[in-house]
Amino acid sequence: MAIIRWKKNDMYDPWSELSRLQTEINDLFDIDRFPTTSGLFDRPVSPAIDVIENPDNYKVISELPGIELKDIDVSITSNVLTIKGEKKEDKEEKKGKYYRKESLSGGFQRTLSLPTSVESEKVQAELKNGILTITLPKKEEAKPKQITVNIMEEGR
Partner 1 sequence: MAEKKQIQAKSKRTLRACCDVYEDDGNIILRLEMPGVTKDKLDIKIDGNELTIHGARQEITETGNILMKEIYEGDFYQKYVIDDTIDRSKINASLEKGLLTVTLGIKESEKPRKINVVAK
Q: Does residue number 10 form part of the binding site for partner 1 (CB under 8 A)?
A: no
Amino acid (one-letter) located at 12: Y
Secondary structure class of 26 (helix, strand, coil)? helix
Sorted by sequence, the CB contacts under 8 Å of residue 73 that are 6+ apart come out as 82, 83, 84, 85
Task: Name the residue nearer to partner 1 (CB basis): 10 or 154.
Answer: 10
Burial class (CB in 10 A: 0-12, 13-18, 19+), 108: buried
Using CB under 8 A, pick the residue from 77, 129, 146, 150 that binds partner 1.
Answer: 129
Task: Name the residue nearer to partner 1 (CB basis): 61 or 142.
Answer: 61
What residues make contact with partner 1 under the rule CB under 8 A? 4-5, 7, 30, 32, 34-40, 42-43, 48-55, 58-59, 61-68, 92-93, 95-103, 112, 115, 127, 129-131
